[in-house]
């Protein structure tokens, strides 16, 4: 079982990349779980035909109790991907990071991995703040590999640097390691050069170069991943190539 955490600045497109990677892996016959670790709880929406999923924290607020089965907090999406969203607290109240930790503990109690026996688990994690619960996939053994999503924009690279540095600080503890960078192009000046400089500074490979594509927007308007909507498009082929690279490791 491969356990991969995808980190990146909010709004950088990591949910789009994660769900398309999940779709590409599923098309190739792999059993995939995607866990959205963002208070917005929108990581898996394009795997689910545009339907929002009841988050774990949302369930607990609504029913004032923990769910007793996986079926109450999960749904099958495109290619059979099992989708779960941690969600977050009521805005202005509580800590979103604690919500992630509470969700992970609950999934252990429900024996998620033992029951599903997945080939790949993808965690889609907000990377603006790498502390507390947001660092749980790195620190607590839930993920083995980290992929960092960035563009050539200044704040995206700033967040990417914080993520890489945080993982490096855990290096001597046997926690997850950064396996590489995913360039999600925004077509800013010197974009490739800037991302290459960042990757070199941290001695990381650029594992994927995702072109800016109208096909992604067209797919998301229909509640779909681009891998489902236009599997032969160049941007979809980039996701299939990334999936193949991950499976070869």
Residues carrying an active site annotation? 9, 14, 40, 128
Task: Report residue 209 as tokens.
Answer: 């170069």
Q: Using alpha carbons, select from 82, 211, 225 the residue that is nearest to residue 151.
A: 211
Q: Using alpha carbons, select from 158, 159, 110, 104 the residue that is nearest to residue 133.
A: 104
Q: CA-to-CA distance for 237 and 44, rounded, in angstroms?
A: 20
Q: CA-to-CA distance for 19 and 84, rounded, in angstroms?
A: 12
- Name residue 126's beta-bridge partners: 8
What is the b/e burial string over 202-214, where b = at least 16 CB atoms within 10 angstroms of the residue's CB?
bebebbbebeebe
Strands 177-184 and 206-210: parallel
């Amino acid at each position: 079982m491969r356990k991969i955490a995808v980190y990146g600045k909010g709004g950088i497109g990591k949910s789009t990349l994660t769900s398309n990677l999940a779709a590409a892996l599923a098309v190739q016959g792999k059993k995939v779980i995607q866990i959205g670790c963002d208070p917005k709880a929108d990581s898996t929406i394009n795997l689910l035909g545009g339907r929002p999923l009841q988050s774990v924290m949302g369930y607990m607020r609504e029913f004032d109790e923990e769910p007793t089965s996986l079926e109450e907090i999960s749904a099958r999406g495109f290619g059979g991907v099992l989708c779960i969203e941690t969600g977050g607290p009521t805005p202005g109240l509580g800590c979103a990071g604690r919500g992630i930790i509470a969700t992970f503990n609950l999934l252990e109690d429900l024996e998620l991995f033992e029951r599903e026996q997945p080939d790949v688990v993808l965690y889609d994690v907000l990377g603006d703040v790498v502390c507390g619960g947001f660092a749980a996939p790195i620190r607590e053994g839930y993920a083995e590999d980290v992929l960092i999503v960035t563009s050539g924009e200044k704040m995206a690279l700033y967040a990417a640097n914080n993520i890489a540095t945080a993982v490096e600080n855990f290096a001597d503890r046997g926690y997850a390691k950064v396996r590489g960078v995913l360039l999600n192009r925004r077509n800013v000046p010197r974009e490739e050069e800037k991302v290459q400089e960042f990757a070199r500074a941290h001695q990381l490979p650029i594992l994927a170069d995702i072109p800016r594509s109208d096909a992604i927007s067209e797919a998301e308007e229909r509640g779909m991943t681009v891998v489902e909507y236009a599997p032969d498009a160049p941007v979809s082929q980039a996701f299939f190539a990334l999936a193949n690279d991950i499976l070869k490791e």
